[in-house]
Structure 1
Amino acid sequence: MSTRVIVCTVRVVRESIFARLYRILCSLILAQSVHVWLVSEDMDPDTGEGKASAVSKLRLWWTKHEGPDSLVTMSFTVDQDFGKPAAVLLNSFYSTEFFLQSVTLHVMPDGFDVYFPCHTWVNHSRLYFGTPRVLFSNSPYLPNKTPTPIRKLRKSDLLAIRGDGSGHRLHGQRIYDYEVYNDLGNPDHSASLARPILGGSRHPYPRRCRTGRNPTETDAHSEKPAGRGSNAMYVPRDDMFSAIKKWEFLLLGLRSVGHNVFLNLEHLIRDDRSFLSAEQLRYLYDGRLGSRIHKAVAEWMVNHIIKRPTDGRPFLFPPPGVAKVHENAWDVDSEYGRQRLAGVNPLVIQRMESFPPISRLDPKDFGPPTSAITSDHLKPLLEGLSVLEALQQKRLYIVDYHDAFMPFINKINGKEITGKAIYAPRTIFYLRKNGPLIPIAIELCLPPTDAEEAKSRVFTADDPQWLWRLAKAHAATVDTGYHQLVSHWLHTHACVEPFVIATHRQLSTMHPVHMLLSPHFKDTMHINALARNSLINGGGKIESNFTPGRYCMEISSAVYKGWRFDEQALPKDLLKRGMAVEDTHRHGGFELTIENYPYAVDGLEVWAAIEQWVEDYVKLYYKNDRDVQEDEELKGWWEEVTKVGHGDHAGAEWWSEMKKVEDVIEVMTTLIWMASALHAAVNFGQYAYGGYMPNNPTMARLLIPEEGTQDYKDMLTNLEGFFFNTVSTQGTTTFAMAILEILASHMSEEEYLGDRKDPAHWSCDPRAIHAFNNFRGKLKEVGRAIERRNKDGSGDEADFRQGPAQLPYTLLHPSSPGPGLTFSGIPNSISI
């Protein structure tokens, strides 16, 4: 039988000269290599599976460099009737891993190419339990449309990465499995570091990736903490940061922590002391702390460690955006209101449809359910309207944290935790006739204790400015905690991880939906693992620097009880919160109640672009509802998400049935929104708004004294001092600033919405490439529209896009001008 040749070009990431020398020695002395063979779409009548080529050996030291990559060429001789290659299989016997970018097969003499977009780490075969790695081409197939000869291979590849729920996972493996959050505490170190397990009926929570570490000696159900370092916690190898990102992450952390180090060297910061004044606070970033010691050490660090250009202030905090133009803008009521619409937490505010607010908590445990805010409190501030008229004209709005925090107040304020004082607040806002949204009443609530009844104190904008400022600070502190624990961590990081795991376990890499979703999961599991190890763990950075302390994660669990996936869709979220009303005559079928609501206006344009892209793509492969119903992989994916990954909501009536094409479009649009735009909106503004501590304090330490008490009289003697004694200490402020600077920074490898690896080759389907290019074009239009709206704003207090702080809202601009603190850009994924 005649034969033909298939030329195989393997593209790997270029290795260092030392790694190449080691690989040469391993190849020559130990005969290490990679065994590679091809599998065709055509059936071998003897096996009933795809025809297989002979095994060829890939040696990675004989390479040709091309940019950051290295190319290795090899060839296969196959029978003339071998057919089109569908998969590349390989077994590596190298002792060290390598990163495989792609494989291109040039089929001779036909002259056509088959492209395999790999982007995967390849380790020794023993880490895969002896099963070969399977790499499919960029041809998308639904399961029942897959060429019959490779269907078994498709199934076996999925089985290989699911594991069996046992064993300690090792670095380099690619096993995806589920576990509850049983690794946040460290009871073996101290009883005070024991934390409840999140996940289950008592503390419902999304599931995380299973690591299989040993249980603690104190509690057999809890997992021992991992060590320190970016590789300490198991993450499937392909979901880990790249070497470049690890280095940038390290440098960013070094710079941010360096702020604290040098501030202490300058004797400006004492962890447990309050700031004396706003002037002292400004020393952190305005350049006045630069002594010769600081400058000399900073210069040495830049020249010998960072080794890259800086802004000349490598260890000074950057000026926070909210205080950059007008440093006192944070204290203006219209700016406080604007930030509920365009700040870092713009998705909590609700339109009031009735008055007064009423709690759903048990009054026996938490006091009277009806708010203490009355019409008499509000009426003088409603420009002549009655409360009923203001409701009817859609002018009253509320941020209500009463029920979320009330069950935890006595624990946080109790004797076991010192130096923290918190209320359960409600803040009512009024949309004035000339435009600005302003806070007009704040209720600060305390539950009953053994010694006292429940208390509710009401403050209004007519109170003395200093008293009103204290009330706003307490409300802002709770908002800051809720933002970090719920809006940011829970609603994006934690809730998306089960989808990442299920996608790898249930959807083949050749599945069109896997191809659609894969860019939106980049680095998510690694950043979540790092968070569990040092950020949200017991005694970690969040507990140490936010008022709820050890109850931080329990609060997020309590909120998760009411979480609904369908309500994460932006249009449904806006309707639920009353920030939009149905209007069939308008585009989208609804109307915003606050027309210039930056998060909603920009977000709806981004949402529409994502939705159109998903619809165009999904309908290429699901021609009708029957195609959806016959997709066994999609069915398994959805069952695993709803019954395991989010198993504490299993059986909820609000889950989609996933039986129609429209169901697929809605779910995928919502998921991509959560992983990209929603996370961008709540993450990348953290330093701009939270970097100036009085604007978003992370800590409250004193309750507001009752009038007539000695504490009240003492407060009146030094109002500014009492304010700074109430909010974060010097140490908490600088530590929080360092954390927020890291979290709000883009990395150089960031892939933004509309970008993806192999933009022209990620799919061999030209229709998919065309639809994706249309999506990219639409996102550019969205970016230009945002720029126009910011440019055309009035610039006064009625301008929600800039406001008194003169900080244009760009968090939902699809692109970023570069890495760092840009306050702009929507990454594809939750990557930091």
Structure 2
Amino acid sequence: MDRRKFFKTSATAVGASVAGTLTLSAGTAGAAPPFDLPMPFGDPLGPGPVNPLLPQQDPNPAARVAELGRLQAKYVWSEDSNYVHGVPMAASLSIEDLPTLEWFTTSIDQQYQVISNIIVALSRHFNNLAGDLLQPLVDQLGGLKNTIDGVFKIVAPVLESPAAYPLDPAARSAEYLTVQTAETVLRTLDQIRDGLFAALRKIFDSPGLGNFGTVDGVQRYVQLWATMPVPAIAETFHDDMVFARMRVAGPNPMVLRQVNGALPQNFPLDDKGYRSVMAGDSLGAAISQGRLYMIDYAELGPSASESATYKLLTGPGYNTAPMAAFAVPAGGGELQPVAIQCGQDPAKHVMFLRPGPGDADRYWSWQMAKTVVQTADFNHHEWFSHLGRTHLVSEAFCVATRRHLAANHPLCVLLTPHFEGSLFINQLATYLILAPETTGDLILAAELGDLVATAGQARLDWDFYEKMPTNEFAERGVDGAQLRYPYRDDALLIWDAIHTWADDYVRTYYPADSDVREDFELVAWADEIAQVGKIKGFRRIDSVDQLVDVVAMIIFTASAQHSAVNFPQKDLMEFMPFYCGMTAAPAPSATTGNGEADWIRMLPSLLTSVAQLYVLDTLGSLHYRPLGDYRTNTVPFPNAINDPRIVGPGGPLDKFRATLRQAENTINDRNSQREPYTYLLPSGIPNSTNV
């Protein structure tokens, strides 16, 4: 089924109404689905234990080849199946790619909360328009609550005691219909969201109502959190140390790099300017001692044109490609901001130096320059670090695994839980963000075509081996102990745990390098990833050591790396005065002469702000199935890995889970000695890129 039609047809295929579905319970017999599709998560009686075998050892190779042929006809590559053109993705989705019932109910609960919050906030903000524009949405949401409660009533006992759930096909039909109801509820929430944005467009027809203006300042944004807690960052977002901390512990901590030898020629920070910020230090000493660092957003390319982009719904929007310098003080300590240049050309962009305490003349110009950096970082985060380099990367490995590793291949058994929900959420993300006049178009300044091209190029430029954590930190020069770097420290801790787990697992099935080279399914898999999937730098695998690295990197990217960039969206990025996808005014051109009103004029409009709140709260709230959870998608969710050599007492899986528990303790201990960084706590890392 075409990806763009998948959501419109999958729920209605059963031909059952929402009300009819809710009459079924987990233990009630129901008719089989009236169409020739598999049950949502495999065989109606649930998957049996899989005996993992390498293809060269399988006594029934013909059945294995036949099954792979079926899957290769089902999962087909396309570079034009979605909105990210030129990037290999699955041309179609299957009903098996739906998330679990548990995922649906968790997502429903979260989306209901955020949409309700927004409607309440807007009703208060525009009370004179609430009756005409917002009240119908309030009524629709209230009616939907009964349906949601009905779904939860059915699902709760299944999730609380899955082992007690009956395995007969009739009961599984009830589960199937409940899944379809849950998806229908999600679609209804989507319709309410669309109605919300339609109401906002009408509000914009009244001059001035769509503009937050300068009265009450940040409080106008804070009021958008009507029924949900205001993000804690609202209390400290102007702080310069918080701004610096985002480079090492924020949503996009992969841009900072050490200055090696000299500053770039187009960033003319001199010693006098440096000393005015970093008292008792010198520019030369900071560079020679490896204490000077930079961020540079040049690779944003056409999505950071510097000139205004005019859109019908949001008006003029701006984004540039700034550069900024940061330093560790000579005596050690936390990273500190030094200077910002709001574009690539120093002839067009003045250098902003961090003002000292009490320097009122330069304070607001500096805050405006920081907003320019935060906006560029927002764009880089969403298109490069998040969508391009976790979601779209994992899709390539998922599709290749579906097509070339048989169900009983040891690597398919291991990796499939790390791909759970990936194809579905990628489709949902591109549908909600990349389609014309959807949230990406509302949140970000650049034209949609430039944004899509940026995301696609980010994915194609990602190099598999270069981006392995140890290699990537060394390449950026941020592996030295003088830089306090929570993301790096915790990422390496989780990487080591995953790498050891991959090593124990892989060597169980591949005792020698010759076993790797003789695995013809693995050869076809690697060739397709490199040649068709276009994963840069990927190549055939010749040794057990190399295979361990490959498996660890796939798991790390789908789980820990995605967690590090996804969950800060809720805590940090949904608060628009701190992070926004566009500014409503150009970058400042003078280091003095600006006030708070000038900074506020840079912040996005109401429509943009609501879209940003909705999307980022939705993406950053759903923690589903933690790292190390290897259950299947089929109630009663039996283990996907059953080999006693792996799951036996004290075996590799027990060791992996124990290592993750120890990592959790280590990070908690670190957090007692530093500003807490929680995004790589193993208990909060989903096993797959499922949100």
Q: CA deviation at 1:701?
A: 1.7
CA RMSD of aligned residues (A): 3.0
1:73-98 deviations in Å (ceiling 9; x for gaps):
xxxxxxxxxxxxxxxxxxx9964767
1:597 deviation in Å?
Answer: 1.3
Instruction: Pick the aligned partner of 1:444 from 333, 342, 345.
Output: 342
Q: Secondary structure of the residue that 1:456 maps to in structure 2? A: coil
Q: Which secondary structure does the structure 1 equivalent of 2:264 belong to?
A: coil
Amino acid paired to 1:686: Q
Alignment of 1:323-722 (within 5 A): 323=234, 327=235, 329-358=236-265, 370-401=266-297, 403-410=298-305, 413=308, 418-432=315-329, 433-445=331-343, 455-462=348-355, 464-550=362-448, 551-580=450-479, 591-594=480-483, 596-646=484-534, 649=536, 654-707=537-590, 716=594, 719-722=595-598
Letter in 2 for 1:573: E
Decide whether the 8 Å contact of 1:531 with 1:537 is kept in 2. Answer: no
Contact kept, 8 Å, 1:404 with 1:558, in 2: the verdict is no
CA 1:641/1:561 → structure 2, altered by over 3 Å: closer, same or farther?
closer
Could you list the runs of 5+ residues in structure 1 that have no partner in the other structure? 1-15, 24-60, 73-91, 101-118, 123-132, 164-174, 185-196, 200-204, 212-234, 288-315, 359-369, 448-452, 581-590, 794-800, 803-807, 816-824
Q: Give 3-state SS (helix, strand or coil) of 1:419's partner.
A: strand
1:766 maps to 2:676? no
Contact 1:372 / 1:456 at 8 angstroms: preserved in 2?
Answer: no
Correspondence for 2:685: 826
- State the Cα deviation string for residues 92-147 of structure 1 (Å, max 9, x = none): 996476748xxxxxxxxxxxxxxxxxx4266xxxxxxxxxx997741110001112
Higher strand content, 1 or 2: 1
Residue 62 of structure 2 corresponds to which residue in structure 1?
Answer: 152
Distance 1:382 1:607, change over 3 A: same
Specify which of 726, 731, 756 is matched with residue 630 of structure 2.
Answer: 756
- 2:280 and 2:29 map into 1 onto residues whose CA distance is 75
1:483 positional shift: 0.6
Q: Distance in 2 between matches of 1:371 and 1:683?
A: 31
- Deviation, 1:683, is 0.4
Any idea what the Cα deviations from partners look like across 1:403-448, whole Å, max 9, x if unmatched?
213544448525678411222200100112351211110011266x
AA aligned opposite 2:56: N
Distance 2:452 2:271 in 1: 36
Q: C-alpha distance in 1, partners of 2:680/2:655? A: 19
SS in 2 for 1:398: strand
Cα offset, 1:774, TM superposition = 0.7
**CA-to-partner distance for each residue in 1:716-746, whole Å, 9 max, x for gaps?**
4xx2222111021233222211211110112
Q: State whether residues 322 and 376 of structure 2, in contact with CA within 8 Å, keep that contact through their aligned partners in structure 1.
A: yes
Task: Write out per-residue CA displacement over residues 278-297 of structure 1, whole angstroms, 9 at most, x where no aligned residue.
Answer: 23322233x5xxxxxxxxxx
Asked if structure 2 preserves the Cα contact closer than 8 Å seen for 1:569 and 1:673, the reply is: no
Q: Taking structure 1 as reference, are residues 610 and 183 closer, same or farther at Cα in structure 2, changes over 3 Å only?
A: closer
Q: In the alignment, which residue of structure 1 is the partner of 2:96?
A: 238
Q: Name which of 148, 156, 161 aligns with 2:71.
A: 161
Q: How many residues align structurally? A: 574
Q: Is the 8 A contact 2:570 2:617 kept in 1?
A: yes
Corresponding letter in the other structure for 2:409: H
User: Partners in 2 of 1:475 and 1:527 — Cα distance?
Assistant: 29
Structure 1 counterpart of 2:120, one-letter code: F
Whether the aligned pair in 1 keeps the contact of 2:246 and 2:252 (CA below 8 Å) is: yes
CA contact (8 A) 2:306 2:319 kept: no
* Cα pair distance change 1:121/1:412, threshold 3 Å: farther
C-alpha deviation, 1:668, in angstroms: 0.6
1:620 positional shift: 0.7
Equivalent of 2:221 in 273, 277, 281: 281
1:746–1:407: structure 2 CA closer, same or farther, 3 Å change rule?
closer
Q: Following the alignment from structure 1 to structure 2, what is the Cα–Cα distance between the partners of residues 93 and 740?
A: 35
The 1-side partners of 2:406 and 2:57 are apart by: 13
- 2:495 is paired with a residue whose SS is helix
- What amino acid is the match of 2:617? E
The answer to whether the Cα contact below 8 Å between 2:365 and 2:590 also exists between their aligned partners in 1 is: no
> For 2:548 and 2:511, how far apart are their aligned partners in 1?
12
**Bigger radius of gyration:** 1
* Alpha-carbon separation, structure 1, partners of 2:539 and 2:37: 41
Distance 1:258 1:397 in 2: 43
What is the Cα deviation at residue 501 of structure 1? 0.4
Q: Distance in 2 between matches of 1:755 and 1:492?
A: 20
1:696 is displaced (CA, Å) by 1.1
Verify the 8 A CA contact 2:392 2:426 in the aligned structure 1. Answer: yes
Which residue of 1 is the match for residue 619 of structure 2? 743
CA distance in 1, matches of 2:62, 2:446: 52
Number of the residue aligned with 1:302: none
Deviation, 1:162, is 1.2
Counterpart contact for 1:481–1:547, Cα < 8 Å: no
Question: In structure 1, how many angstroms separate the alpha carbons of the residues matched to 2:81 and 2:406?
Answer: 29
**2:231 maps to 1:320:** yes
Amino acid corresponding to residue 442 of structure 1 in structure 2? I
Letter in 2 for 1:553: V
Shift of 1:498: 0.9
CA distance in 2, matches of 1:633, 1:621: 14
Q: TM-score, normalised by structure 2?
A: 0.77
1:155-175 Cα shifts (integer Å, max 9, x gaps): 101101111xxxxxxxxxxx2
- Percent identical across equivalent pairs? 26
Which of 113, 122, 125 matches 1:264? 122
